[in-house]
Amino acid sequence: MDCKDRQVTRFRSFAWMLACFVAVTLMVPTVVSAKEPTPGNKMTDMAASAKSAILMDADSGTVIYQKNSNVAMPPASITKIMTMLLVMEALDEGRLKLTDKVQASEYAASMGGSQIFLEPGEEMSVEEMLKGIALASGNDASVAMAEKLGGSEQQFVAMMNEKAEQLGMKNTKFMNCNGLPAEGHVSSAHDIAIMSRELLKYEGITKYTGLYQDYLRKDSPKPFWLVNTNKLVRFYSGADGLKTGFTSEAKFCLSATARRDNLRLIAVVMGEPNTKTRNAEVSHLFDYAFAQYTNVPIYKKGDPIGTLSVEKGKVGQVPLTAKRSYSILLKKGDAGKGIRHELVLDGNVKAPIEIGQPIGKLIVYRGNDVVTEFPVESPMAVGRAGWWTLLKRTTGQLFLAD
C-alpha cells in the first residue's frame, strides 16, 4: 500500500469513528444542569443580592435553600426575635400576663433609633409593648420588656445567650436586646431561622407580627400610630411575620414567615442593599417553595402518640401527646409515598423524671430509609413512688393477672 492509499484509509477510519461518535451522542439524552435548589443546596441565584440567606420549612426544620447561612454578621433588629421569644415563653409559663403593666425606666426611654417614644415612668401593658416591638421595632419597648423579665438589660441578655445555646445557635452572641450596633453582637441566617422557628411554636405571636397597623395610647391625647416595618404582611399572600432589621453596618435584613395551606416557611436574608431588593428576594424564595413543596403531617398538635411506662413512679403510665405538629417536607407529586413512622421510647425509664426530659424519639421512614427523627420529651414530672404505693400497685397487678 503506497502513501496515498494509507492516507485514504486513515481518512475513512477517522470519518467512520466521527460518524459513530455523532450517532451515539444523538442517542444519549442531553443533561442540563438544573438551577432549582434542592434541600440544603447552596444556589446563590435565589437571593443574589443578600450576603447570607436561608429558606426553611418551619414545621420540620428542613433547609430548602441556603447561602453563606452560617456566617456570623450583625443582625440589627432581627435580634428582637429572641426578645419576643423570651416574652412568649414567660407568658406560656405563667410568669407574665398580657395585662401586666411595664414601666419604662429612664434608660429604656433613652434608646435611639426605632422607638415608640416611651417617657420615663410611662406604663404600658405587656401586650402593648409586644405590639411596639413587633410592628414598630421599638428599641425602647425592647429594653423595657428586658428589664421587666430580667431585672436589667444585662441580665436579660444573659438569658438570651443561654436560650441561644440551648437552641444550638452556634454563631450567635447577643450584646443587647434590640440589635443596636455593639461590638461582638452577631448572628447568622441559620441561627436566626432556628430562633424564628422556636418563636413560631407560640402560635399567638403572629397576632402581633402579622398586623399591618395599630395604635398605642389610642384613648390618650397623644395616640401613636404603628405601621409594620415588614411590608410583606400586607403585600404577600400568607405572610404574617416576623421581623425586619437595618443598621448601616448590617444593611437591610429580614426574617419572614408565610403560611399557605399546611406549609409554613421561614426565609432569612441579611446584608441586602435596600428594602425593595430584600422584599423581592424573600418573595422569590417563598414563591419557589410554595410552588415546589408540600408538608405531609405525621401528627397534629395535641394528637395522642403513645404511652410512657415509668418504673417506680408515683404515676406508672404517662400519656404522650404531640406538643407541636410533626411533619415532613416533600416535593409535590411525591407526597406520602412509602412514608411510615415509629415511636421508639427509652427502655426502663425510672422515676424520678423531669418535665421536658428526653425519653425517646419519633422516627419517620420512607421504605427502610430514615427520613427524619423528632425528639420526644416527658410532658410532666414524675416523682418516685413510696413503698405503700408500690405495694398497692404490685398487689393490684397480681389480682389482675390470669
SS (HEC) of the chain: CCHHHHHHHHHHHHHHHHHHHHHHHHHCCCCCCCCCCCCCECCHHHHCCCCEEEEEECCCCCEEEEECCCCCECCHHHHHHHHHHHHHHHHHCCCCCCCCEEECCHHHHCCCCCCCCCCCCCEEEHHHHHHHHHCCCCHHHHHHHHHHHHCCHHHHHHHHHHHHHHCCCCCCECCCCCCCCCCCCEECHHHHHHHHHHHCCCHHHHHHHCCCEEEECCCCCCCEEEECCCCHHHHCCCEEEEEEEEECCCEEEEEEEEEECCEEEEEEEEEECCHHHHHHHHHHHHHHHHHHEEEEEEECCCCEEEEEECECECCCEEEEECCCCEEEEEECCCCCCCEEEEEEECCCCECCECCCCEEEEEEEEECCEEEEEEEEECCCCECECCHHHHHHHHHHHHHHCC
Please tell me whether 251 is known to bind a ligand: no
All CATH 2.60.410.10 domain ranges in the chain, comma separated? 300-400
Structure confidence at residue 88 (pLDDT): 98
* Residue 311: per-residue pLDDT: 87
Query: Which set of grid coordinates corresponds to residue 163?
Result: 436560650
C-alpha cell at 39: 434541600
pLDDT at 6 over 60: no
* Predicted local distance difference test score (pLDDT) of residue 45: 79
% residues pLDDT > 90 (the chain):
70
Topology of the domain covering 44-293: Beta-lactamase (3.40.710)
- DSSP-derived letter for residue 118 is P
Q: Looking at residues 60-75, what average pLDDT do you find?
A: 96
Q: What percent of the chain has pLDDT over 70?
A: 85
Largest CA distance in the chain: 112
Q: Amino acid identity, residue 171?
A: N
Residue 399 has a pLDDT of: 52
| Model pLDDT, residue 394 | 64
- Kindly report, residue by residue over 151-189, the tens digit of the pLDDT: 999 999 999 999 999 999 999 999 999 999 999 999 999
pLDDT digits (tens, 9 = 90+) for 340-381: 999 999 988 888 999 989 999 999 998 888 988 999 999 999
Residue-wise pLDDT for 222-277, tens only, equals 889 999 999 999 999 999 999 999 999 999 999 999 999 989 999 999 999 999 99
CATH code, residues 300-400 = 2.60.410.10
Residues of the chain with CATH 3.40.710.10: 44-293
264 in Cβ contact with 200 (< 8 Å): yes
Residues shown for the chain: 402
Closest C-alpha to 285, from 310, 256, 244, 323:
256
Q: Which residue has the cell 389482675?
A: 400
Query: Which pLDDT score is estimated for 138?
Result: 96
Q: What is the pLDDT of residue 20?
A: 40
For the annotated catalytic residues, the residue numbers are: 77, 80, 137
Beta-carbon contacts of 266 under 8 Å, excluding residues fewer than 6 positions away, are 54, 55, 56, 57, 58, 193, 196, 197, 200, 242, 255, 256, 257
pTM: 0.82
pLDDT, residue 76, reads 97
Do 146 and 154 form a contact (C-beta atoms < 8 A)? no
Res 393: pLDDT:
58
Average model confidence (pLDDT) across the chain: 87
What is the residue type of 375?
P
- Tell me how far apart the alpha carbons of residues 63 and 268 are, in angstroms, rounded to a whole number: 11
Count the Cβ atoms, other than its own, within 10 Å of residue 26: 9
Distance CA 234, CA 238 (A): 9
pLDDT band at 14; cut points 50, 70, 90: very low
